[in-house]
Amino acid sequence: MAIVVVGGHSRSVGKTSVVAGLIAALREYHWTALKITQYGHGVCSADGKPCDCATDDHTWAMSEEKDRTGESDTSRFLVAGAARAWWVRTEQGRLAEAMPTIRHRLAEAENVILESNSILKFLRPDIYLTVLDPATADFKNSAQQFLDLADGVILHEPKEGPNKAAWQGVSLKPVAGRPIFHIWPPEYVTEEIVAFVRQRLNMAFHD
């Protein structure tokens, strides 16, 4: 089984678009796709909506996507060609509680692609790609923590002007020497990215 993880340093940098693009370009892998969302205080993991619950019943939830309208992130995975898609919601820092169920779903799958950084605390994928947008100042702690595990960097390029990073106090030394794939949204997955992923998966299957 192949496992691919796509992470990124912030929200809205294109992680979902990269996952959907890889699913569409590599349909022969019959992907099961998972999106993992961790919420802060005051948001219920059961449905992702604001609440005041503080019970252990709501520390995590997992639901299978059935809708194919493409309106939600996991629905986009199905539209792209995923065999199945799941959305995992947990309270911040409590992903471990959902891992037994996640591992069960992984065991059922032919191949898996996950949108997450924090999942790297619990498994080692065949490929981990991180999406970086220098125009977005926020840089998640989880993205910094696992930056050195990235096999490749998908880097937003500006349409005009210098590509000066808006984030502060973040070093990219952990990915020095790693392949960097430049993207110009709305194109998030290039032929070079697809070729890289396919090559790495072929290597993993033949090891």
| Two tokens, residue 119 | 């999942």
Whether the model pTM is above 0.85: yes
Report which of residues 5 and 55 the model is more confident about: 5
Closest of 82, 161, 88, 154 to residue 122, by C-alpha: 88
Q: Give the tens place of pLDDT for each residue, 176-187.
A: 999 999 999 999
User: Cα–Cα distance between 197 and 189 in angstroms, integer?
Assistant: 11
Q: Give the tens place of pLDDT for each residue, 58-100.
A: 688 999 999 999 999 999 999 999 999 999 999 888 999 999 9
Tell me if 154 sits within 8 A of 131, measured CB to CB: yes
- Candidate CATH numbers 2.40.50, 3.40.1840, 3.40.50, 2.60.120; the one for domain 3-206: 3.40.50
Domain ranges within the chain, ordered by starting residue: 3-206
DSSP string, 31-83: EEEEEEEEE-TTB-TTTS-B----SGGGSEEEEE----SS-SHHHHHHHHT-S
**DSSP reduced 3-state for 137:** coil
User: Cα–Cα distance between 71 and 165 in angstroms, integer?
Assistant: 31
DSSP structure class, residue 108: H
User: Cα–Cα distance between 165 and 142 in angstroms, integer?
Assistant: 18
Tell me which residue has tokens 């709305």.
186
**pLDDT band for position 161 (cuts 50, 70, 90):** low
